[in-house]
Structure 1
Amino acid sequence: MEWLARVMGARRAIEVGTFTGYSALCLARGLGPQGRLLCLDINEDWTHVARTYWRKAGVADRIALRLGPAATTLATLPQEPGFDLGFIDADKENGRLYYEEVLARLRPGGVLILDNVLWGGKVVERRQHPGDTSLQAICELNDFAAADERVQPAFLPLGDGLLLLRKR
């Protein structure tokens, strides 16, 4: 993700779901010294770990963290496109909501990254896991994004799968 941010020349990014902050650290490095990253998360304990490592890596001044439900925070952001890059790695049941909110705030040509689109390989056997609401939400979002004419999709089978979506 650091590489992608650098190649794009991204300067403003948003991350929904921060956890211990590794992806945020990579994004902040890729944005460069003048770049700014907005991170949204609900867990103060995990993001405390993140802040510790951001300071050690020298990128804490580039990252703003907002604690609280991401849907609520996203609704308070200006509607105009202000981000070059977005990354969503949060609760899967609200993935479509996050997708719409971040995409609306992404500039044309900007990139939205969805994490965990393979869900441990379960996406190919989704019918065998009818009670897995996260899996069902991921499959629905994958299908929606693949057909969404507002974006150009590219799939990377790295880790648990990344879906990169370039906004038209």
Structure 2
Amino acid sequence: MHFIPEEIDEYVVKHSEDEPELLQRLNRETHQKILQPRMLSGHFQGRVLSMISKIIQPKYILEIGTYTGYSALCMAEGMQPNGELHTIDINEELFDFQRKYFDLSNYGPRIVQHLGDALDIIPKLEMKFDLVFIDADKENYSNYFNIIIDKLNSGGVILSDNVLWSGKVLESQFKKDDVDTPALIEYNRLLKTDERIETVLLPIRDGLTISRKL
């Protein structure tokens, strides 16, 4: 779904930073071999993630939802030389695919993969984070926020993807089996009202929220 005219969208991409060659390869192979390639952050959003990370210069990054590793590599571009990026995914079939591209990058040794339920894994991580990216099952977004907020440094940033959900967040009635839309509506309300953070929602692709801990 395009929230701005497609021609403007193309102009925006054309006048933003080019997609690095390794990420072009990852992008192509994801579309060739992996189910649901639409889940990939992609060129433009990837450059946004990279830019935010470079501005923050995080020591520790947490990602919930690795998919094929594209967004992790984008955020790693801004990581401090002694930093680490911890990325969590529940799909073990993608583990080796992710690792291949992590090891082809300059950040491989500093990217730590975790396999399993993020709600079980996060409490076991001992460090505090400067940058967090949430891009996993929408039903648990609020649960992820609540478990992350105390592990986020003051001034740290949470990025939340897909918060516009193809415009479905404007709907007032949902299908019986739709748990994601009401969960995202509640999550967006949480980010707006929680006094521990300040938030801005950007209409980038499917919606990207930037929340900064006070």
TM over 0.5: yes
The sequence identity of aligned pairs, in percent, is 40
Partner of 1:141: 187
Partner of 1:69: 117
Instruction: Give, in whole Å, the separation in 1 of the partners of 2:115 and 2:67.
Output: 11
Structure 1 residues 80-120: Cα deviation after superposition (integer angstroms, max 9, x where no partner): x7110001111111111111111110001000011110111
**Structure (1 or 2) with the greater strand fraction:** 1
Work out whether residues 33 and 62 of structure 1, in 8 Å CA contact, stay in contact via their aligned partners in 2: no
Work out whether residues 117 and 142 of structure 1, in 8 Å CA contact, stay in contact via their aligned partners in 2: yes
Structure 1 residue 130: deviation in Å?
5.1
Instruction: Give, in whole Å, the separation in 2 of the partners of 1:35 and 1:6.
Output: 13
Structure 1 residues 27-58: Cα deviation after superposition (integer angstroms, max 9, x where no partner): 11121432210111111112322111112222
Instruction: Give, in whole Å, the separation in 2 of the partners of 1:112 and 1:30.
Output: 15
Work out whether residues 159 and 210 of structure 2, in 8 Å CA contact, stay in contact via their aligned partners in 1: yes
Partner of 1:13: 61
Partner of 2:9: none
Partner of 1:85: 131
Partner of 1:153: 199
Partner of 2:169: 123
Provide the aligned C-alpha RMSD in A: 1.4
Instruction: Give, in whole Å, the separation in 1 of the partners of 2:125 and 2:71.
Output: 22
TM-score normalised by structure 2 residue count: 0.73
Instruction: Give, in whole Å, the separation in 2 of the partners of 1:156 and 1:130.
Output: 29
Q: Which runs of 4+ in 1 moved over 3 A?
A: 128-131
Structure 1 residue 159: deviation in Å?
1.1
TM-score normalised by structure 1 residue count: 0.92
Structure 1 residue 132: deviation in Å?
1.2
2:146 corresponds to 1:100: yes
Where in structure 2 are there 5+ consecutive unaligned residues?
1-48
Structure 1 residue 18: deviation in Å?
0.5
Q: Aligned pair count?
A: 166
Where in structure 1 are there 5+ consecutive unaligned residues?
none
Partner of 2:78: 30
Higher Cα radius of gyration: 2
Instruction: Give, in whole Å, the separation in 2 of the partners of 1:160 and 1:130.
Output: 23
